[in-house]
C-alpha cells in the first residue's frame, strides 16, 4: 500500500474536473441558448454565423432605410398634391379669364391671384424638406451652376446612368454649349390715334425761359402755328390791317389823266361799268381855259353812274368799280379818246384798305397798343358816310389790359375822325381815320375789318427800361375745318412793351382774328407769363400750335385734353391715378402709374422705361434704350413702316417670340383708351446648339436645332437648359424703318454649364451597391413653365390653359414616379423582411443550441459531477487505512 501518491484520488479528481468543465459548457449553452458561444465551440460555424448575422443586421437596417425613404417620398408626394391643387386652381382661373364677360380690371385681379399661386408653387419647391434635405428644388437630383446669369438648368430627375452590365455612373462635368441663331422677330403694337378733346389746347410748345418766358396759354385763338419774338423797338406803326370781311378782294381801276379839253366843252363821252349801259358825261365849262381834273371828276360824279367810285388827286382821276371792267368811249368829242384820255382801259387790281381809308398816328399822343375790330352798322350813300362800331382791346406798355367800345363812329368821305380818346389809344390827335372820297359805295352793312395799333415802347422811360416790340405771327392749320387762308392775320401783330415793367407778370395779348370767308370773329387771348428776366430784342420768346377739337395731338399735350381719356358719360379716366400693369411673355412684369397732369411725352417715357428697365430689355440694346416706345407726329411720320400714323404710340419689344410678347392690363376704359393692336407679329428665334466637354472638347451633342431658347432633354434626359433668348443675336436700330432689327452675330454664343450628380439614393440592401436612386426633379414655377402664365387679356389667358395643362402633366408624371418608387420600396421592405427572417432561421440552425439534447447532457454531467465528488471523497479516505496499519 502506498500513501505518498493517492492515485485513486488523482483519477477521481481528473474525472471530476473534466465533468465540471463539460458541465460549465453545458450551463453556458443552456443559459445563452447558443450552441456556439466562442470560436472554440465551432470555428467554421462561427464564421458562417457571423456573416449571416451581418446580413441580417444589414437587412434590418435596409428595412428601416426603405421605410425612411417611403416617408421621404410621402412628404414629397404630399407637397406635390398641393402643387396639383394650385395648378388646377390656376387653370380654372385661366378658363375664367378667357371669357370676354370680364373686364381688363377683372383679369388683373385674377392675375394677382395667379401671381400669388406662382409664388406659392416656388415656395413649396424650396421649403419642402425631409431631415433638412430639400426635395422639390432639383437639388435632390443634381446641382448646377453657369458662367452666365441667363443660363439656367432645370433638373427633372437623377443624373445617374446604369449601363447594360449594371454599372452605375453619374452624368456630371463641365459642358460648353455653343449656340448659333437664326433671328426671329419681336412684336410691335400701335395705340389708337389720340386727338384733342378741348378748346384752347396748345401743343408743340417751346418757351425761351432765358429770354423771360415762364409759361403760356391761349383762349379762343384760331388753330394754327404761332411764333412770338421780340424786335428792336419800332416807330409807332399806326394801323396794320390784320383782317377784313365783306369787302371785294379785287376791283377794276381806271386812271385818267386829262389833256387840253377846251375844244370839247359841252361835248360828251360815255362811261360803262361791267359791260352795262353807257352813261354819257358832258365836259363841263372850265374856270380856266381847259377844264381841270377836279371839274371833270365832279361832272362824272354828277352823272351818278351806278357802281362807280370817283377819286381825284394830283390832277389825276381814278375810277373804281367792284362790279367789272370800266370803259370810256367817245360820243362827240372834238379830240378822239386816247388823246384826251391817254389811259382808257381799266385793270383788275387787288383791293387794299388804303384804297378805302387813311389813318394818321401821332407819336407824341399815342400811348397804347390795341387790336380794334370795326363793324359796319350803316351806310348812307346820299351823305357819303359809313357808321362803324369799334371794339378795342388795349395793351399798355406796362402790361395793363383795357377794353373800349365806340358804337357810333361816323366816317364821311374826306372827313377826318379822331378816335384816340374813345378807343383808349392816347390823347387827342393820337389816332385819326379818314374815309376816302368815292369809297362809300364799297362798304356794306356787316362788313368787318381789324386794325392792330403798335405803340413804340420808350427807349428811355422814367425807369430806364429798354423798349421792345413783341411780334406775333401765325399760320393757320390747313386741316382745321374753319380755316379761311394761309396766315392767321394779314399782317403780323405787334405790341410795344417796356421791359422792366413787364417782368414777372401775366401779359394778355388779346386780339381780334377775323375769318375773311364768313365773318366769324375770334376774340383770342395769348397769355404769356414772364419771369424775372427782362426781355431783349431779337429773341424768339415762344413757338406753339393752337390746336382745334378733333386735331391729332402732339407729344406735349396733357392726357386730360385727349378724347380717348374721357368716357361717353364725360368722366375723365385719370381723375384718380391709374396703374397699368405690363406683363412680358417670359413671366416678368412691371407697372406704370398715370396721372391727370401727365403729357403724351411723359406717358411715352413711362412706357419706355417700363419695357427697358422694368422688364429688363435695355440690356439687349443699351444705345437704343429710348426707342422702345415712340410717338408719331405729322412732321416725323414715315411714308411706310411702323410710324406712319400721326398721333399714335408705337410700342416695341426687343425680344423675339412669345417670350417678348407684351400684355397690358388695368382699368377697362383705360386699356380701351390705348386700343392696342399688333402691327408686327412676333416670330420665334431658331437656334442650333452643339454641346462639348469643356475640358477636352469632346462632342457631347452635335447641331441640335430648337425653336425658342430651351434645350429640353438634349444634354441629358433629365436636364432642361434655358439660355439667353437673344443668344448670338444683336439688336440694331434701323433709322429708315424706325424699328429694331435682330441680326445674327458672326461669333457663336457660348455658355458653360457645370453639372454634379446629387441623386437621392436609398440603401435598400445589406451590401455595397444594393441601392436605388429616385427621380425627384425641380418642381418650381420656372421648371414647370408657369411663370409664363398671363391672364390679363383673353388671348394670353387662352394660351395659359395649354401651359397649365403641360405643367399639370409634369407634376402628374413626377407624382407617378414617386408613387412607383413608394410601391417599389414597400415591396422592398417586404422582401427584406422575408430575407432577414430566412437568414435568421438559417443562422439559428447553425448557432442556436438544441435545449432538450443539452438538458440530457447537463443531467448526465450533473450526476457525474455528484458521483465524481463522492468518489473523490472516498479516494481521499484511502490513506487512513495505512494509518491503521501503522498504529497496529
**In the predicted model, what is the mean pLDDT of residues 444-450?**
94
Please give the pLDDT value at position 857.
Answer: 86
pTM of the model as a whole: 0.78
Grid coordinates standing for 219?
383762349
**In the predicted model, what is the mean pLDDT of residues 315-340?**
79
- Of residues 360, 359, 417, 355, the one with CA closest to residue 386: 417
Tell which CATH classification among 1.20.120, 2.60.40, 3.40.1350, 3.30.870 matches the domain 250-350.
Answer: 2.60.40
Q: Which tops the pLDDT comparison, 505 or 32?
A: 505
| Cβ-based neighbour number of residue 50 at 10 Å | 14
According to CATH, the topology of domain 59-141+766-832 is f41 fragment of flagellin, N-terminal domain (1.20.1330)
pLDDT 10s digits, 685-694: 999 999 999 9
pLDDT 10s digits, 273-303: 988 899 998 888 887 778 888 898 889 888 8
Please give the pLDDT value at position 69.
Answer: 92
- Is the model's pLDDT at 888 over the cut of 80? no
CB 576 within 8 A of CB 586: no
pLDDT 10s digits, 120-174: 999 999 999 999 999 999 998 899 999 999 999 999 888 887 766 667 777 889 9
- Of residues 388, 425, 393, 428, the one with CA closest to residue 409: 388
Domain definitions of the chain by residue range: 7-58+842-887, 59-141+766-832, 144-184+684-758, 188-196+558-683, 201-244+458-547, 250-350, 354-452
**In the predicted model, what is the mean pLDDT of residues 449-477?**
78
Grid coordinates standing for 573?
379716366
Please give the pLDDT value at position 344.
Answer: 62
- Of residues 567, 575, 564, 630, the one with CA closest to residue 597: 575
Three-class SS state of 837 = helix
**In the predicted model, what is the mean pLDDT of residues 100-111?**
89
Strand residue runs (E) in 439-535: 448-454, 467-476, 493-498, 506-514, 521-530
CA distance 740 to 620: 11
pLDDT band per the 50, 70, 90 thresholds, residue 744: very high
pLDDT 10s digits, 367-396: 899 999 999 999 998 898 999 999 999 999
- Of residues 399, 456, 450, 451, the one with CA closest to residue 426: 456
Q: Is 880 exposed, middle or buried (0-12, 13-18, 19+ CB in 10 A)?
A: exposed
3-state secondary structure 112-178: HHHHHHHHHHHHHHHHCEECCEECCECCCCEEEEECCCCCEEEECCCCEEECCCCCEEECCEEEEEE
Per DSSP, what are the bridge partners of residue 475? Answer: 225, 487
Amino acid at each position: 500500500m502506498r500513501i505518498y501518491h493517492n492515485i485513486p484520488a488523482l483519477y477521481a479528481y481528473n474525472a471530476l474536473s473534466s465533468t465540471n468543465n463539460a458541465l460549465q459548457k453545458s450551463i453556458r449553452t443552456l443559459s445563452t441558448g447558443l450552441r456556439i458561444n466562442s470560436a472554440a465551440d465551432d470555428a467554421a460555424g462561427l464564421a458562417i454565423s457571423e456573416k449571416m448575422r451581418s446580413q441580417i443586421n444589414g437587412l434590418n437596417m435596409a428595412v428601416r432605410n426603405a421605410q425612411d425613404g417611403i416617408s421621404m417620398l410621402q412628404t414629397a408626394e404630399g407637397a406635390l398634391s398641393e402643387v396639383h391643387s394650385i395648378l388646377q386652381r390656376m387653370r380654372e382661373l385661366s378658363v375664367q379669364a378667357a371669357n370676354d364677360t370680364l373686364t381688363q380690371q377683372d383679369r388683373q385681379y385674377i392675375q394677382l391671384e395667379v401671381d400669388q399661386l406662382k409664388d406659392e408653387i416656388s415656395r413649396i419647391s424650396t421649403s419642402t424638406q425631409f431631415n433638412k434635405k430639400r426635395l422639390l428644388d432639383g437639388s435632390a437630383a443634381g446641382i448646377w451652376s453657369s458662367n452666365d446669369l441667363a443660363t439656367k438648368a432645370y433638373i427633372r430627375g437623377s443624373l445617374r446612368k446604369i449601363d447594360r452590365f449594371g454599372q452605375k455612373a453619374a452624368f456630371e462635368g463641365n459642358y460648353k454649349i455653343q449656340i448659333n441663331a437664326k433671328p426671329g422677330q419681336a412684336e410691335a403694337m400701335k395705340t389708337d390715334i389720340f386727338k384733342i378733346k378741348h378748346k384752347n389746347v396748345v401743343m408743340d410748345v417751346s418757351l425761351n425761359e432765358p429770354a423771360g418766358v415762364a409759361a403760356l396759354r391761349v383762349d379762343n385763338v384760331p388753330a394754327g402755328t404761332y411764333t412770338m419774338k421780340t424786335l428792336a423797338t419800332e416807330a409807332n406803326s399806326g394801323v396794320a390791317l390784320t383782317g377784313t370781311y365783306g369787302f371785294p378782294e379785287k376791283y377794276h381801276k381806271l386812271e385818267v389823266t386829262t389833256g387840253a379839253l377846251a375844244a370839247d366843252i359841252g361835248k360828251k363821252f360815255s362811261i360803262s361799268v361791267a359791260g352795262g349801259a353807257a352813261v354819257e358825261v358832258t365836259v363841263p365849262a372850265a374856270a380856266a381855259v381847259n377844264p381841270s381834273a377836279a371839274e371833270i371828276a365832279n361832272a362824272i360824279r354828277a352823272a351818278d353812274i351806278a357802281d362807280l367810285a370817283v377819286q381825284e388827286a394830283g390832277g389825276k382821276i381814278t375810277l373804281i368799280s367792284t362790279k367789272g371792267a370800266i370803259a370810256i368811249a367817245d360820243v362827240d368829242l372834238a379830240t378822239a379818246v386816247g388823246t384826251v384820255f391817254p389811259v382808257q382801259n381799266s385793270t383788275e387790281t387787288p383791293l387794299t384798305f388804303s384804297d378805302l381809308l387813311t389813318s394818321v398816328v401821332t407819336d407824341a399822343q399815342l400811348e397804347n397798343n390795341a387790336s380794334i375790330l370795326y363793324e359796319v352798322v350803316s351806310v348812307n350813300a346820299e351823305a357819303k358816310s359809313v357808321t362803324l362800331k369799334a371794339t378795342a382791346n388795349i395793351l399798355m406798355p406796362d402790361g395793363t389790359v383795357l377794353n373800349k367800345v365806340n358804337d357810333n363812329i361816323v366816317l364821311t368821305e374826306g372827313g377826318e375822325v379822331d378816335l384816340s380818346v374813345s378807343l383808349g389809344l392816347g390823347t387827342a390827335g393820337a389816332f385819326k381815320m379818314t374815309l376816302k372820297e368815292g369809297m362809300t359805295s364799297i362798304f356794306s352793312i356787316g362788313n368787318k375789318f381789324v386794325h392792330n395799333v403798335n405803340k413804340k415802347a420808350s427807349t428811355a422811360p422814367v425807369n430806364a427800361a429798354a423798349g421792345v416790340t413783341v411780334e406775333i405771327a401765325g399760320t393757320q392749320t390747313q386741316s382745321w375745318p374753319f380755316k379761311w387762308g394761309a396766315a392767321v392775320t394779314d399782317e403780323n401783330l405787334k405790341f410795344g412793351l417796356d421791359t422792366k415793367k413787364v417782368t414777372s407778370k401775366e401779359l394778355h395779348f388779346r386780339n381780334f382774328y377775323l375769318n375773311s370767308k364768313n365773318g366769324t370773329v375770334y376774340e383770342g387771348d395769348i397769355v404769356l407769363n414772364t419771369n424775372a428776366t427782362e426781355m431783349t430784342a431779337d429773341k424768339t420768346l415762344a413757338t406753339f400750335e393752337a390746336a382745334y377739337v378733333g386735331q391729332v395731338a402732339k407729344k406735349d399735350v396733357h392726357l386730360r385734353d385727349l378724347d380717348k381719356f374721357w368716357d361717353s358719360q364725360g368722366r375723365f379716366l385719370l381723375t384718380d391715378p391709374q396703374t397699368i400693369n405690363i406683363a412680358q411673355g417670359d413671366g416678368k412684369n412691371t407697372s406704370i402709374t398715370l396721372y391727370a397732369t401727365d403729357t403724351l411725352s411723359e406717358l411715352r417715357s413711362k412706357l419706355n422705361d417700363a419695357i427697358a428697365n422694368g422688364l429688363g430689355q435695355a440690356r439687349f440694346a443699351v444705345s437704343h434704350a429710348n426707342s422702345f416706345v415712340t410717338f408719331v407726329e405729322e412732321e416725323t411720320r414715315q411714308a411706310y413702316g411702323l410710324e406712319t400714323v400721326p398721333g399714335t404710340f408705337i410700342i416695341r419689344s426687343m425680344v423675339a417670340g412669345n417670350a417678348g410678347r407684351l400684355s397690358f392690363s388695368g382699368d377697362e376704359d383705360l386699356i380701351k383708351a390705348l386700343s392696342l393692336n399688333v402691327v408686327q407679329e412676333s416670330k420665334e428665334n431658331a437656334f442650333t446648339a452643339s454641346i462639348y466637354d469643356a475640358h477636352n472638347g469632346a462632342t457631347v451633342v452635335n447641331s441640335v436645332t430648337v425653336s425658342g431658347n430651351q434645350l429640353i432633354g438634349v444634354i441629358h434626359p433629365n436636364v432642361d437648359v434655358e439660355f439667353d433668348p437673344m443668344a448670338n443675336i444683336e439688336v440694331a436700330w434701323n433709322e429708315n424703318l424706325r424699328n429694331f432689327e435682330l441680326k445674327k452675330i458672326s461669333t457663336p454664343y457660348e455658355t458653360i454649364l457645370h453639372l454634379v450628380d446629387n441623386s437621392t439614393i436609398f440603401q435598400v440592401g445589406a451590401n455595397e451597391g444594393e441601392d436605388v436612386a429616385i427621380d425627384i426633379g425641380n418642381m418650381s414655377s420656372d421648371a414647370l413653365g408657369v411663370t409664363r402664365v398671363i391672364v390679363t387679356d383673353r388671348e394670353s389667358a387662352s394660351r395659359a390653359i395649354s401651359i397649365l395643362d403641360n405643367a399639370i402633366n409634369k407634376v402628374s408624371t413626377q407624382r407617378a414616379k414617386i408613387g412607383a418608387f413608394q410601391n417599389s420600396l414597400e415591396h422592398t421592405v417586404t422582401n427584406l423582411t422575408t430575407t432577414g427572417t430566412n437568414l435568421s432561421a438559417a443562422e439559428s440552425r447553425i448557432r442556436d443550441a438544441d435545449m432538450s439534447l443539452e438538458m440530457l447532457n447537463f443531467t448526465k454531467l450533473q450526476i457525474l459531477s455528484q458521483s465524481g465528488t463522492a468518489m473523490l471523497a472516498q479516494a481521499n479516505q484511502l490513506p487512513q487505512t495505512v494509518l491503521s496499519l501503522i498504529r497496529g
